[in-house]
Chain A
């Protein structure tokens, strides 16, 4: 099993550009989440999904969209990138909604 995979590993955007961060898991987990991690702060939840077709907002959802059309994939879309979205983004999945498996992260810089 590959576990949780994320692409790209690194990305540089200009203010106003849009992009999609990809996340996939091969463990047949129902629960998937997106977090951002900033220096000195804990991981903060952006959006999550409890199954295909079901998504909900976390603590910091503004500026991000998600969809969950399959159990395996949970892409995160940045609609119009801003410097405040410079961060490391982690995707996670869970089978029971508790213990989470994290991907390797995407380091995003917005100029």
Chain B
């Protein structure tokens, strides 16, 4: 079955360390997205990519980096520059960039920085 796989589900890191969250999809979707969720807030867009080797900053990109070397993969690195990295991170993909049609979601990664 096609879908999006995020790993790991739970991740613990020490303050000051970079950490990379994995997101893989086998849906042949062009567009992929990373969102962050904090308690009491809606999910907010970190980065998105509409095509391989291209990506754009979302609303809260500071302290994060991404790459899109393959259509199937869109890893997110939380760098030491991110002031408050503890959060729930959600990856999504869709068929086309400008449209929400056919969007699929991963199960999320809960990152805790200690």
Q: Do A and B bind each other?
A: no
Binding site for B on A (CB under 8 A): none
